[in-house]
Amino acid sequence: MSSDFMAHLHRILKPGGVLHFSTDDVPYLEYTTKNIRNSGLFMESDSSPIADIAHITTEFERQWLAAGKKVFHSAWLPACNPK
């Protein structure tokens, strides 16, 4: 997730909107989490990352979970005063 893409997401996210990020790849999770935090555009949500979208899954995620593999989720809110 590039800084340009995060800036675009921040600009178009509706008030009260949430940026949800999910992946099965731990290095990508760590890389993206670091980039989102360092951007200053979003703050990590204190609530369950997928509480509001738990009913939405992709075919890939369903297959991955059925195989006993883990999918990581995070939720981000727009920062009030971005960097």
The CA angle 49-54-71, to the nearest 5 degrees, is 65
Count CB neighbours of 9 within 10 A. Answer: 18
The enclosing H or E element of 65 equals helix 59-66
Give pLDDT, residue 55. 74
Q: Quote the pLDDT of residue 31.
A: 94
Please indicate, yes or no, whether the overall pTM of this predicted structure exceeds 0.95.
Answer: no
- Per-residue pLDDT tens for 18-39? 898 888 889 999 999 999 999 9
Q: Taking a C-beta distance cutoff of 8 angstroms, is the pair 64, 71 a contact?
A: yes
Mean pLDDT on 70-81? 84
pLDDT at position 49 over 80: no
Whole-number pLDDT of residue 62: 86
Of 28, 9, 5, which Cα lies nearest the Cα of 79? 9
Could you give phi then psi for residue 40, rounded to 5 degrees? 75, 5
